[in-house]
Amino acid sequence: MTTLTATRRAGFDGLLRSEWTKLRTVRSTTWSLAAMAAVSVGLMSFIAWVIMRQWDQFSPDEQAMMAAEPLQIIIDQPVFISQLIVAVLGVMVVSAEYTTGMIRSTLQAQPRRLPVLGAKVVVFAVLMFVVGELLSFAAFFAGRWVMSDHITVNLGDPGIARSVFGAGLFLTVLGLFSLAFGAIIRHTAGAITGVLGLILIVSNLTVLLPGSWGDHVHAWMPTNAGQLVFKPSLPPDSLLTQWQGLAVFTGWTALLLVVAAYLFRTRDA
């Protein structure tokens, strides 16, 4: 007698567990998150400590400027460096599987491609949100303690709580933006070059475009817009508010994820 056994296709919860296992067991994830923590809390605290040690050497105008914008030290600088780490990690969530050929095994186990990509997006988004918020608030409280002798800053001050929370949101959206790049390009070096080139070069060069249309292009570039969310205040002539800027960045990310989903579904592994 021959016994027939039916195999049940794994549900979305199984895909989530699989993607979480793959993500947390890869050494690059651990090292990247450790580097983010070292930059966000360790390096920032050291820089703030050095600045405070030299406080009396600054002019009254410089002291007033730092006191008026303390998040420049304890949020802006850590995010600027951490975003590079998040961009690399986001790309590798997808591209590393293509580099090693593991994507073929993944799609053999689960032929439905969109749920596979969806699971990657959900798992990485949750990870980046949790880590981003933890490090943002840790950086804030560590920086506030280091600077407390000369600068007073509290979460209850205007725009501060939103800025600290927004820094974690920005890193989350940036991670998904980079993941989409990785899914579209599928080559680790190429995708990382594309993301970092956009963040560090293209976004900054748009400020050189002439006229009011150049101002609009610069303001609506993905990361330029997204970074507004962790600014306590904006100049009167800003084209976007903080939440509008995050919405623009989220829109760009959603568009890239749609393109990534289409290509992920139609191209050969």
120, two tokens: 């990657």
Q: Kindly state the average pLDDT of the residues 47-75.
A: 90
Q: What percent of the chain has pLDDT over 90?
A: 62
For 109-126, what is each residue's pLDDT tens digit? 777 889 999 999 999 999
218, 206, 179: which is closest to 195 by C-alpha?
Answer: 179
**Helices 77-100 and 44-53: angle between axes, nearest 10 degrees:** 160
Q: Among 3-17, 20-34, 69-83, 247-261, which is the least confidently predicted range?
A: 3-17
Looking at the predicted structure, is the pLDDT value of residue 71 above 50? yes
Looking at the predicted structure, is the pLDDT value of residue 8 above 80? no
Predicted local confidence at residue 2, as pLDDT = 43
Mean pLDDT (the chain, rounded): 90
Q: Among 12-21, 44-53, 239-248, which is the least confidently predicted range?
A: 12-21
Biggest alpha carbon distance in the chain?
A: 92
Predicted local confidence at residue 100, as pLDDT = 83
Predicted local confidence at residue 96, as pLDDT = 87
Q: How big is the CA angle at 87 (ends 27 and 208), to the nearest 5 degrees?
A: 155
For 128-141, what is each residue's pLDDT tens digit? 999 999 999 999 99
Q: Kindly state the average pLDDT of the residues 203-215.
A: 88
Predicted local confidence at residue 212, as pLDDT = 86
For residue 257, CA distances in Å to 17, 31, 195, 226 come to 21, 26, 14, 17
Predicted local confidence at residue 1, as pLDDT = 40
Alpha helices in 101-206 (DSSP H): 102-109, 113-147, 160-185, 188-197, 203-205
267, two tokens: 């191209």
Looking at the predicted structure, is the pLDDT value of residue 6 above 70? no
Predicted local confidence at residue 267, as pLDDT = 84
Q: Kindly state the average pLDDT of the residues 198-211.
A: 90
For 17-58, what is each residue's pLDDT tens digit? 888 988 888 888 889 999 999 988 998 999 999 999 999 899
Q: Kindly state the average pLDDT of the residues 164-169.
A: 96
pLDDT bracket for residue 10 (50, 70, 90): low
Q: Kindly state the average pLDDT of the residues 147-165.
A: 92
Predicted local confidence at residue 94, as pLDDT = 92
Q: Residue 63, class by beta-carbon neighbours within 10 Å (0-12 exposed, 13-18 middle, 19+ buried)? A: middle
For 88-106, what is each residue's pLDDT tens digit? 999 999 998 888 888 888 8
User: Residue 37: how many CB atoms within 10 A of its CB?
Assistant: 18
